[in-house]
Amino acid sequence: MTTMPGPVLGDLDARVAQRLATGGVRYTKGRRLVVRALGRAGGPRSAAELHGRLRPGIPLSSLYRTLTVLADAGVLARSHDGHGVALFELAEWLRGHHHHLVCVECGRVEDVDVGDEHERTLTGVVLAVGAAGDLEVTGHRIDIEGVCGACRA
Amino acid sequence: MTTMPGPVLGDLDARVAQRLATGGVRYTKGRRLVVRALGRAGGPRSAAELHGRLRPGIPLSSLYRTLTVLADAGVLARSHDGHGVALFELAEWLRGHHHHLVCVECGRVEDVDVGDEHERTLTGVVLAVGAAGDLEVTGHRIDIEGVCGACRA
DNA sequence: CACTATAATGATATTGATTCTCACAATACA
DNA sequence: TGTATTGTGAGAATCAATATCATTATAGTG
């Protein structure tokens, strides 16, 4: 169980549409394609990966602009792989809180849902450590590094 | 207490020298400067920051090469900031295991040492989650995000 | 100490991901 | 239908990072 479809993938479009509407941002065909592709993905994806996978060949420049617009609107979250390449995924309020399994061999990143029990434990430590470091904690990001099944084979 | 000098900063040079020697890599003046600068820093730093701080103006191209050499030799660890810019810090065997406090306002990243007790807790959860996700865990990386004291003021 | 092989440096050119520009197309709404 | 506004596509520009290459420094050796 390395991935889990969020409970809301069904009305993903509807939720994104509403969010964009309140910001006066249009939910165009290209933007829909990107959101759906990321909804299907099991982890954060780069612009290049999305560009290769999206069928009606969206030009890279438009894709980058779309990703930026969606990120600015709070629909997508942006992170980076081990080489500084930008990765995009659905924002937490769409995808649900989760962390990442990172393969140190192939670099692949996959979502992992931590159970409530474990998440409570993590949050407790994070809050304590952040407070001790004079940080007003707003969130945390955990990457679990190792060798994935495919790379072990 | 947001930072803590590792127990080995005194003989940092000696430890790095030995490590490089076994790899047939010279510990030159420029490389010493970079290692010491990172030994003084309280967190990971970008090439640009180091370039600005290093006194005998080392050219950027040389600095990048130095950073790459030291990272390849296992002396430095490489990560990335919120914009994909590479950050460098002393490797774990030199600096000691730690995590990062990230200010979401100014982007500054500072080291934070988690106590043994908390670290054991984190490791336990990480191993359990990694195993459940079919990952042979080799390490973990935790960024605690929030607003730093300076930005709150 | 001088000599040679090897490794490191500095200046510059190049790459690659990402962003910007601008003319054109699509959409919303009066 | 007309008009203002927003989005798109193609290509140029940017910027961090890397590669190239001639020059310089260093470690060993005789």
Lowest mean pLDDT among B53-57, B90-94, B131-135: B53-57
* Phi and psi based region of residue B145 (left: phi greater than 0; alpha: psi -120 to 50; beta: remaining): beta
The nucleotide minimizing the C1' distance to residue A26's CA is: D6
> Would you state the pLDDT for residue B9?
60
Q: Residue A145 forms beta bridges with which residues?
A: A102, B139
**Stretch A59-85: mean pLDDT:** 96
| Beta carbons within 8 Å of B61's beta carbon, 6+ residues apart | none
- Option in A101, A129, A130 nearest B135 (CB): A101
Q: What percent of chain A has pLDDT over 70?
A: 93
Name the closest residue on chain B to residue A109, using Cα atoms.
Answer: B135
> Would you state the pLDDT for residue A98?
95
Continuous H helices in chain A: 12-22, 29-40, 47-53, 60-72, 92-95, 116-132, 149-152
- B137-153 tens-digit pLDDT: 999 999 999 999 999 98
> Would you state the pLDDT for residue A57?
84
Write out chain B residues lying below 8 Å of A122, CB-based: 122, 125
> Would you state the pLDDT for residue B91?
96
Query: How far, in Å, are A8, A76, A109 from residue A90 at the CA level?
Result: 11, 5, 14
How far is Cα A29 from Cα A16, in angstroms, rounded to an integer?
A: 13
Spell out the domains of chain B, with CATH numbers in brackets: 1-92 (1.10.10.10), 97-153 (3.30.1490.190)
Q: What average pLDDT does chain A have?
A: 92
- B42-71 tens-digit pLDDT: 999 999 999 999 977 899 999 999 999 999
Q: Identify the helix (H) or strand (E) that includes residue B140.
A: strand B135-148
Residue with tokens 């003084």: B40
Distance from CA of A108 to the nearest CA of B (A): 12
Tell me: pLDDT of B27 over 50. yes
> Would you state the pLDDT for residue B2?
43
Collect all residues from A whose CB is shorter than 8 A from any CB in B. Answer: 1-2, 78, 80, 82, 84-86, 99, 101, 103-104, 110, 112, 114, 118, 121-122, 125-126, 128-130, 132-149, 152
The C-alpha torsion from A140 through A5 and B79 to A47, rounded to 10°, is -130
| Strand D contact with A30 (CB < 7 A) | yes
Tell me: pLDDT of A29 over 80. yes
Name the closest residue on chain B to residue A118, using Cα atoms.
Answer: B125
- A85-135 tens-digit pLDDT: 999 999 999 999 999 999 998 889 999 999 999 999 999 999 999 999 999
> Would you state the pLDDT for residue B10?
64
> Would you state the pLDDT for residue A106?
87
> Would you state the pLDDT for residue A56?
78
Provide the token pair at A114: 């931590």
How far is Cα A48 from Cα B2, in angstroms, rounded to an integer?
A: 38
Tell me: pLDDT of B72 over 60. yes
Distance from CA of B6 to the nearest CA of A (A): 17
> Would you state the pLDDT for residue A1?
47
